[in-house]
């Protein structure tokens, strides 16, 4: 590809060469056309095989155009030959299409490092010499200009140059990882989480994990919460979230919603006042106030209204509502909400367990949702996202929280009629306002075209891995700057662990390859030895154990002792909130809070606005 023709003059500025003895007269090509964003180069190519294949014209290569005091940087996105004919044994003229990325200027002092600018102040002229970009210029292109950076891999163009991202800007301005199935999204997320924890030790991370795979990739940093260890009391749900569970994801009935909005505050006031009735209007409690109440008090309010003569028109709705509440409270799959001991647990313990306050050396919570009923997942995610924002807001920025949403298109679909509105609103609130208060959002999805564009537009840094769907590529293309649009032409053909990073977290659009993780730390590679469905080679599947778990509603395996939560315990299926004996001492009702637990979680066995009951 390097061709010596006649005796052309030397270059105005010396270029860094592969070898010191290489002639300065050797050039790649010349500019023959240029507009405000792109240029076309004329060059020659042969088929004698004497050139180094690494130096041939290829798509994706970075080049520089020499303008004397500065060098315009370009990215090759197309190579072709006019006429589409090829002459064997001869030099063939070719055209190279280049997208202009920016320009590099040398410093005032000879020892100063070159400086890259995304803007172009001086465009290439026709006939300007084009060269393979030198290493110092390539480093300048991706330099973070003083921002604290972390290395997450290396450049695809040059394995010797590290791919750095500005970690504070990446986290605080939200980020997204997109790519089709099997390209390494989860591995990339695990790597980013490890780098973020090392760079920001005070960061807490909540991973919404629908496939139960991240706990194995962060074993020394994480705790695992699943359906058997989750304690999320029903009284912490807002009315819309509680209705999503109560109606099992179906459309709510307005009459029953109005009744719930009226009687839940009464049940909360009765519990707070020690069982005595309170007059309407004497308390400021609403259906959304996170104050404990008992299911028994809620059912008693319904029974009282059914017995009223003036309430005949409401009786069908009241009876239907009562049946719903009784069924959901008795369902063993919902013990994480209605377990009797949750009435006595405080909101401090619940929040401390989930959001790792204090973190005790394990700042990551992997919320494994595979064992939860599908109709309750949206409501639980809404509660957690809402609490994350409120905690960051009320801590006045002292608590730094990152909410990672795996398969984010499930919670924030592009179609507003799909999904659960409170979940969408809670995550959108983090995306729009979270950076002001220290609550950050990470989005992981294989279908960016199905994701709410408002949410994706708030992610200032995007790691785009291989995408094949045209709609998904169009979404990413609309988010990238015009000066880097040609980079997305590689989205369909990128390899494993490769990504195109663009946005606030990088200096300029960068094609990179993520570091390779140890096989033991790959997401989903490990399975707990306590899993009763795991089988050894040569053994058959234990169908009886599977059917038993199906009937008991236990979809999760036992949690490993080192990653289980202090307050996790067996659910008592015989006693539910509101039962007469739900306060009696029982080993199943509540585990004792030890001094060690108080020191680990910073908790005191206090109550949350409750008055003690006699008897």
Other Cβ atoms closer than 10 A to 316: 12
Give the pair of three-digit tokens for residue 331.
């369902």
Q: What's the pLDDT at 615?
A: 40
Q: What's the pLDDT at 454?
A: 83
Residue range 104-128: mean pLDDT, rounded: 85
* Most confident region among 414-418, 436-440, 553-557 by mean pLDDT: 436-440
Cα separations (Å) of 413 from 64, 174, 442, 452? 42, 18, 16, 5
Phi, psi of 19 (to 5 degrees): -135, 145
Does pLDDT of 483 surpass 80?
no
Q: Is 62 helix (H, G, I), strand (E, B) or coil?
A: strand
236-295, pLDDT tens digit by residue? 899 999 998 898 878 889 999 999 999 999 998 888 877 655 555 545 788 988 888 888
127-177, pLDDT tens digit by residue? 999 988 888 888 888 888 889 999 999 988 788 889 999 999 999 999 999
Lowest mean pLDDT among 120-129, 152-161, 563-572: 563-572
Tell me the H-state helices in 37-95.
Answer: none
- Stretch (H or E) spanning 299: helix 295-306
Instruction: Write a three-state SS string for 306-324.
Output: HCCHHHHHHHHHHHHHHHH
Q: What's the pLDDT at 410?
A: 84
Give the pair of three-digit tokens for residue 430.
């983090």
**The Cα angle at residue 175 between residues 169 and 181, in degrees rounded to 5:** 150
Q: Among all chains, which residue has been given the structure tokens 């590809």?
A: 1
513-563, pLDDT tens digit by residue? 999 888 888 887 655 444 545 555 666 777 888 787 777 655 544 334 333
Question: Is 585 or 137 the better-scoring residue by pLDDT?
Answer: 137
Q: Among all chains, which residue has been given the structure tokens 């909005």?
A: 261
Distance CA 90, CA 569 (A): 79
Cβ atoms of 476 and 448 within 8 Å: the answer is yes
Instruction: Write a three-state SS string for 573-599.
Output: CCCCCCCCCCCCCCCCCCCCCCHHHHH
Residue range 588-602: mean pLDDT, rounded: 37
* Most confident region among 306-315, 378-387, 474-483, 583-592 by mean pLDDT: 378-387
Distance CA 424, CA 441 (A): 13
Q: Which of 594, 605, 602 is nearest to 353 (CA)?
A: 602
Distance CA 319, CA 455 (A): 41
221-233, pLDDT tens digit by residue? 999 988 888 888 8
Does pLDDT of 329 surpass 70?
yes
Dihedral sign of CA atoms 109, 114, 115, 117 in order: positive
Cβ atoms of 401 and 240 within 8 Å: the answer is no
Q: How confident is the model at residue 188 (pLDDT cuts 50, 70, 90)?
A: very high
Does pLDDT of 72 surpass 50?
yes
Distance CA 345, CA 239 (A): 20
Q: Do the bridges between strand 92-105 and strand 70-80 make them parallel or antiparallel, or are there none, so unpaired?
A: antiparallel
Q: What's the pLDDT at 586?
A: 36
Cα separations (Å) of 343 from 102, 209, 290, 304, 382? 61, 27, 12, 23, 21
Tell me the H-state helices in 83-209.
Answer: 135-141, 167-172, 185-199
Q: How confident is the model at residue 44 (pLDDT cuts 50, 70, 90)?
A: confident
347-357, pLDDT tens digit by residue? 788 888 889 88
Q: What's the pLDDT at 481?
A: 64
Q: Is 66 helix (H, G, I), strand (E, B) or coil?
A: strand
Spatial neighbors of 72 by CB under 8 A, at least 6 apart, are: 39, 64, 65, 100, 102, 103, 120, 122, 123, 124
User: Number of H helices and number of E strands within the chain?
Assistant: 15, 18
Distance CA 217, CA 215 (A): 5
- Stretch (H or E) spanning 206: strand 203-209
Residue 333's Cα: distance from chain center in Å?
Answer: 27
Does pLDDT of 589 surpass 60?
no
Domains of the chain by start residue, with CATH:
27-121+130-142 (no CATH), 163-227+342-520 (3.40.50.300), 235-276+283-337 (no CATH)
């Amino acid at each position: 590809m390097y061709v010596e023709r006649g005796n052309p003059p030397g270059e105005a500025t010396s270029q860094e060469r592969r070898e010191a003895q290489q002639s300065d007269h050797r050039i790649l090509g010349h500019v023959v056309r240029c507009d405000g964003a792109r240029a076309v180069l004329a060059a020659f190519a042969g088929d004698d095989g004497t050139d180094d294949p690494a130096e041939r014209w290829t798509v994706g290569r970075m080049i520089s155009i020499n303008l004397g005091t500065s060098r315009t940087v370009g990215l090759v996105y197309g190579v072709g030959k006019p006429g589409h004919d090829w002459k064997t044994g001869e030099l063939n003229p070719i055209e190279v299409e280049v997208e202009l990325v920016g320009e590099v200027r040398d410093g005032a002092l000879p020892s100063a490092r070159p400086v890259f600018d995304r803007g172009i102040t001086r465009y290439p002229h026709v006939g300007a010499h084009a060269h393979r970009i030198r290493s110092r210029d390539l480093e300048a292109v991706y330099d973070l200009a003083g921002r604290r950076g972390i290395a997450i891999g290396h450049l695809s163009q040059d394995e010797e140059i590290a791919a750095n991202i500005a970690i504070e800007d990446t986290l605080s301005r939200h980020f997204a990882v997109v790519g089709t199935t099997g390209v390494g999204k989860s591995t990339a997320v695990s790597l980013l989480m490890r780098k973020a924890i090392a760079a920001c030790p005070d960061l807490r991370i909540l991973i919404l994990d629908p496939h139960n795979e991240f706990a194995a990739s962060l074993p020394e940093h994480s705790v695992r919460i699943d359906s058997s260890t989750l304690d999320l009391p029903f009284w912490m749900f807002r009315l819309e979230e509680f209705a999503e569970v109560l109606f099992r994801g179906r459309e709510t009935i307005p009459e029953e919603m109005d009744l719930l909005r009226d009687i839940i505050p009464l049940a909360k006031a009765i519990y707070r006042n020690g069982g005595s009735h309170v007059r309407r209007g004497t308390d400021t409690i609403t259906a959304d106030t996170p104050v404990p109440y008992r299911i028994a008090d809620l059912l008693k309010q319904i029974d009282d209204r059914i017995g009223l003569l003036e309430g005949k028109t409401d009786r069908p709705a009241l009876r239907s509502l009562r049946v719903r509440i009784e069924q959901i409270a008795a369902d063993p799959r919902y013990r994480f909400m209605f377990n009797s001991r949750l009435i006595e647990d405080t909101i401090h313990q619940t929040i401390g367990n989930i959001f790792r306050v204090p973190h005790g050396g394990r700042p990551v919570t992997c919320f494994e949702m595979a064992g939860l009923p599908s109709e309750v997942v949206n409501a639980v995610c809404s509660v957690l996202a809402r609490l994350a924002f409120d905690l960051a807001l009320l801590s006045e920025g002292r608590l730094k929280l990152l909410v990672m949403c795996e398969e984010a298109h499930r919670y924030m679909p592009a179609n507003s009629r799909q999904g659960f509105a409170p979940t969408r609103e809670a995550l959108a609130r983090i995306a729009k306002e979270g950076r002001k208060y220290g609550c950050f959002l990470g989005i992981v999805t294989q279908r960016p075209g199905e994701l709410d564009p408002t949410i994706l537009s708030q992610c200032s840094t995007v790691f785009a891995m291989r995408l094949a769907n045209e709609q998904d590529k169009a979404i990413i293309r609309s988010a990238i700057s015009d000066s880097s649009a040609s980079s997305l032409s590689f989205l369909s053909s990128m390899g494993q662990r490769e990504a195109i990073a663009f946005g606030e977290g990088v200096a300029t659009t960068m094609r990179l390859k993520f570091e390779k993780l140890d096989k033991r730390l790959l997401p989903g590679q490990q399975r707990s030895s306590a899993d009763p469905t795991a089988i050894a080679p040569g053994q058959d599947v234990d169908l009886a154990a599977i059917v038993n778990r199906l009937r008991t509603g236990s979809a999760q395996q036992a949690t490993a002792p080192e990653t289980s939560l202090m307050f996790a315990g067996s659910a008592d299926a015989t006693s539910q909130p509101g039962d007469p004996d739900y306060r009696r001492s029982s080993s199943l009702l509540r585990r004792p809070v030890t001094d060690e637990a108080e020191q680990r979680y910073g908790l005191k066995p206090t109550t949350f606005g409750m008055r003690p009951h006699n008897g």
